[in-house]
Amino acid sequence: QQQVKQSPQSLIVQKGGISIINCAYENTAFDYFPWYQQFPGKGPALLIAIRPDVSEKKEGRFTISFNKSAKQFSLHIMDSQPGDSATYFCAAGSGAGKSTFGDGTTLTVKP
């Protein structure tokens, strides 16, 4: 049973455009929703995270939108740059720090 579903699997955006990646979860016990960025040959790196008592969090060009009733959250990358080309993972955490990851979205930003 996949507890965190991520879409799309891949995304191509022009430089300067907005990249949007969506995730949906099932378990209402999740209380922490991070996004990770992973470059080839590297481990995932925490990008931004949100708690369920907040509907939106913005850090620079990255924004998380959170809809608790729909059990959905999304990552928006404004003014996407070629350097943003990477794989992005959403995750949901709960309990003693256990996180469940989505299957990732490969983002390609074309110059």
Q: Which residues bind another protein (CB under 8 A)?
A: 4, 6, 31-32, 34, 36, 41-46, 49, 51, 89, 91, 93, 96-104
Q: Tell which residue, 102, 77, 92, 83, has the closest CA to residue 39.
A: 83
DSSP state of 107: E
Report yes or no: 61 and 77 within 8 Å, Cβ to Cβ.
yes
Given the complex with another protein, which of 36 and 73 has the nearer CB atom? Answer: 36
Nearer Cβ to another protein, position 13 or 47? Answer: 47
- Give dist(CA 77, CA 54) in Å, integer: 18
- In whole angstroms, the minimum distance from the beta carbon of 15 to another protein comes to 26
Nearest approach, Cβ of residue 103 and another protein (Å): 5
Number of other CB atoms surrounding residue 92 within 10 Å: 25
Q: Which is nearer to another protein, 63 or 105 (CB)?
A: 105
